[in-house]
Amino acid sequence: MTQERTNQYQRYMDRCIELALQGREDPRLHRPYVGAIVFSASGEFVGEGYRSFLDGGSKLIMHAERRALDEVEERARGGTLITTLEPCVVPGSRSTIFRPCGELIANSGIRRVVIGLKDNSPVVNNNAGIINLQRRGIEVVVYEGKADEIRRLLM
């Protein structure tokens, strides 16, 4: 990875962390706090989101990747998604009406996913999210430059 690319990922991951920290403002939401941003194939910023309850409710959790992709439609095709945490591959127990984020990302046409931290939870262990994305032809970059900060603030 070039120094320029490393600096770029650092700036983008900083923004993802800022977004994720917004989740801490809701006392009903528990860790992990996750943030994500989306860039088009041309590098234009097109969307962002953080893990939060759907429409101010208290039952359904909307993942950061879904929020970031929610309104970008075709602009995501060929683009890059950057997220603080490895995307899920199975629906969460509180959000089973939504398809897994890995499936959503693949269906959106995203070509590269940059992950700030691998998910070591029992549901997404052994790099299942990364493997799922790679099997779908998506390049996965694990940018570890902010991993300690993500663990400390968001996990």
Among the listed residues 48, 65, 86, 103, the single catalytic one is 65
- Strand 112-115 to 139-142 pairing: parallel
The verdict on whether 144 is a catalytic residue reads no
Distance CA 2, CA 22 (A): 31
Q: Cβ(90)–Cβ(125) under 8 Å? A: no
Q: Cβ(111)–Cβ(75) under 8 Å? A: no
Q: Cβ(122)–Cβ(88) under 8 Å? A: no
- Mind telling me the catalytic residues? 65
